Amino acid sequence: MAVYEHAYSPYTGPLTPRWSRFAIIPRHAIRDVFRSKLLMVVFAVSFVYPLVAAILIYLHHNANALSILELPIKELLPIDTAFFRNYVWTQAKFGFLITLFVGPTLISGDLANNGLPLYLARPFTRLEYVAGKLTVVAALLSAVTWIPGLLLIGLQSYLEGGSWLAHHLPIVLGVFAGSWMWILVLSMLSLAVSAFVKWAMAARAALFGIMIVPSALAAVINQLFQTRWGSIVDPNSCLYSILVALFGSDARVDIPAAAAFVSIVLLLTVCAGALALKIKAYEVIR
Amino acid sequence: MLGARRRNKFRNGFVTDRDYWTLRCVDIRMTNVIELDNLAVSFGGRPILKGLSIALGGRAIGLLGPNGAGKTTLIHTLLGFHKPAGGTARVLGHDVRSDAIAMRAGVGYMPERDAFVAEMTAVHFVRLMAELSGIPSEAALERAHESLFYVGLGEARYRGLETYSLGMKQLAKLAQSIVHSPRLIILDEPTNGLDPPARRRMLDLVKQIRDSGHARILFSSHMLRDVEEVCEDVLILKDGQIAAYVNLEEDRKANEGAIDIEATGNTEAFAQALTARGCRVSPSAPRRARVVLADGMMATEVFQIAATSSAQIRRLIPKRDSLDDIFHKAMENGRGSL
């Protein structure tokens, strides 16, 4: 129907498959996300560390460059498990910054504008809605965590040659699974906060608090009771323990990885419960 | 208009939604769009809808009832937002409990309250809604433009929704409810807060959609005049029960030739004379009666019959039940009777 023919006519074309519809939300949302210049800056800065890491890997394998620099880079910064573990840890922090910008507004906007009935009155489930919103955060965080991480591993493997990759498989697992643990925790936390706090700034403050306050609380508990188990309430410590275990390294951690994993699963369950509670077309006032 | 190449791309690149085609294949003129069988809905143990059983099949069905009668709860249940505590509800042949997704593919919903997606232009908003209903991205954009032009927001379609007036927001909500060509459009208080020209425009659009025959309409409103103007059938709820379900046209026909008479004098003889002449006389109060005139009989003859029966007519009112009368009678009589 041409636009000048203002008559009601039905759509008779084909439809997209059901399974692909959750991707509609991130496609529209990511377009809007980059309207924020500040986020653009943070997002761009997030690639500085991977770039520096790539340069370091290159320098490690370039004798001429090393001789010109006259720096013992190979000894100072060896390309090993700790190198990639630090990479994931640093990028996760940048991921947290990006989440602070993007996450808290994802659901709060729909709640404030009563948008949920519009989504859920269509052939679109609550699960697809949450999956769509989660994909927005996950896509942005993937771009600064495991994707460049795997590229770095690829570069190192290519330059080192031989069987480097075969001998360092835990690094691949650590970068990929460790990044995804962070992505999942940050995405779910930010969505849960967004579902409860309608004002974007308050939601950002709440998300910041949720990540920072437990660290302080854990430190107080550890100090008071002369233990390390207080860190189980701190998502940062738990994620670090899991990351160290995934990389198979022997770095010092406060709590065992298994306990940390249980703590993180519990946190994710609480977030999922909070979302199930709030993501409804209408609240029923009993 | 989609080019032939793009159409081929859609045909080759996308899987057809089986549910959608199932809906498309069902004749739009099927008898009933909504079937309720002993439908009960409770919130926190408090019954809101109490065993509703009815089949609704008109082109435009009005949903009326006082505040708290259960209109919005019924709409939300039909959309699958609330799970029935008992009984069943079927919309377009789909059970709202077990087959809600397939049902929603054929339903458009315009909520009562302001409802938008934040920080979007109207065209972006309507396009997103079309895509969520399964229309491919480019076709969705085209449909969004068409829908917004259709409802009269063509010139304002690139403006942010937050800058829209109340009337424009209502029209944008209507546009999103029709963009995916639903077979049932549920309009919850569509004329709420509109000024007379905007209300007129909204009603004209709804009537146009109704007359196009492409979609059935469930029209919930407090405005009896709006319902009377748009709807052919009216379902009246009271305290979560069906107070009445009437076809306005049939009701009007049934009342054709009916008059309310107030008379003094020998009213008994007057009633007998009218009955003898072939009229149906139903006393409604002392000295008052509703008279259905015999075929071909004029109201002036009633005066002659009164004169010959020694009765004096004090008042004679041609009877035409308005929706207002129907509604108030339903409220007075309670369940199921008028």
Domains of chain B, CATH where assigned? 7-250 (3.40.50.300), 258-318 (3.30.70)
Q: How many domains does chain A divide into?
A: 1
Measure the CA–CA gap between A7 and A25, rounded to whole angstroms.
Answer: 29
Q: What pLDDT, on the 0 to 100 scale, is given for residue B2?
A: 36
Confidence band (pLDDT; 50, 70, 90) for A6? low
Confidence band (pLDDT; 50, 70, 90) for A252? confident
Q: Which residues of chain B have pLDDT under 70?
A: 1-30, 254-256, 320-321, 333-338
Residue A224 lies in a domain: yes
Measure the CA–CA gap between A84 and B125, rounded to whole angstroms.
Answer: 43
Nearest Cα residue to B325 out of B281, B240, B260, B279: B260
Tell me how close the Cα of A180 comes to any Cα of chain B, in angstroms.
27
Residue A14 lies in a domain: no
Q: What pLDDT, on the 0 to 100 scale, is given for residue A198?
A: 84
3-state helix, strand, coil in chain B (%, to 5): 40, 25, 35
Q: What pLDDT, on the 0 to 100 scale, is given for residue A8?
A: 66
Please tell me which residue, A75 or A93, carries the higher pLDDT value: A93
Residue A46 lies in a domain: yes
**Site of tokens 């909070």:** A274
**Of chain A residues 15-74, which have a CB less than 8 A from chain B?**
15-18, 21, 24, 27-28, 32
Reduced to 3 states, what is the DSSP secondary structure of residue B297? coil
Please tell me which residue, A106 or A10, carries the higher pLDDT value: A106
Q: What pLDDT, on the 0 to 100 scale, is given for residue A95?
A: 96
Residue A128 lies in a domain: yes
Q: What pLDDT, on the 0 to 100 scale, is given for residue A7?
A: 65
Q: Which residues of A touch B155 (CB under 8 A)?
A: none
Which residue among B1, B43, B145 places its CB closest to the CB of A286? B43
Which residue among B11, B114, B117 places its CB closest to the CB of A110? B117
B184-188 sheet: strands from edge to edge? B107-110, B184-188, B216-220, B60-64, B233-238, B241-247
What value does the mean pLDDT of chain A take? 90
The C-alpha R_g of chain A, in whole angstroms, comes to: 23
Q: What pLDDT, on the 0 to 100 scale, is given for residue A10?
A: 80
Mutation site, B75, B103, B117, interface A, largest A CB count within 10 A: B117
Confidence band (pLDDT; 50, 70, 90) for A286? low
Query: CB–CB of B232/B250 below 8 Å?
Result: no
Q: What pLDDT, on the 0 to 100 scale, is given for residue A243?
A: 94
Residue A8 lies in a domain: no
- The secondary element (H helix, E strand) that includes residue B167 is helix B166-178
Which residue among B10, B111, B150 places its CB closest to the CB of A117? B111
Tell me how close the Cα of B131 comes to any Cα of chain A, in angstroms.
7
Instruction: Tell me which of A3-7, A35-39, B53-57 is least confident.
Output: A3-7
Residue A271 lies in a domain: yes
- The secondary element (H helix, E strand) that includes residue B51 is strand B46-56
Residue A228 lies in a domain: yes
Tell me how close the Cα of B235 comes to any Cα of chain A, in angstroms.
22
- The secondary element (H helix, E strand) that includes residue B30 is none
Mutation site, A4, A15, A30, A32, interface B, largest B CB count within 10 A: A15
Could you tell me the two tokens for A133? 């919103």
Q: What pLDDT, on the 0 to 100 scale, is given for residue B327?
A: 83
Q: What pLDDT, on the 0 to 100 scale, is given for residue A36?
A: 86
Which residue among A9, A13, A113 places its CB closest to the CB of B10? A13
Confidence band (pLDDT; 50, 70, 90) for A211? confident
Q: Which residues of A touch B139 (CB under 8 A)?
A: 11, 13
State the ipTM, two decimals: 0.85
Please tell me which residue, A184 or B10, carries the higher pLDDT value: A184
Are A113 and B118 inside 8 Å of each other by CB? Answer: yes
- Domain interval for residue A110: 22-278
Query: CB–CB of B155/A32 below 8 Å?
Result: no
Are B129 and A122 inside 8 Å of each other by CB? Answer: yes
Nearest Cα residue to B75 out of B129, B135, B34: B34
Side chain identity at residue A96, one-letter code: F
Query: CB–CB of B188/B72 below 8 Å?
Result: yes
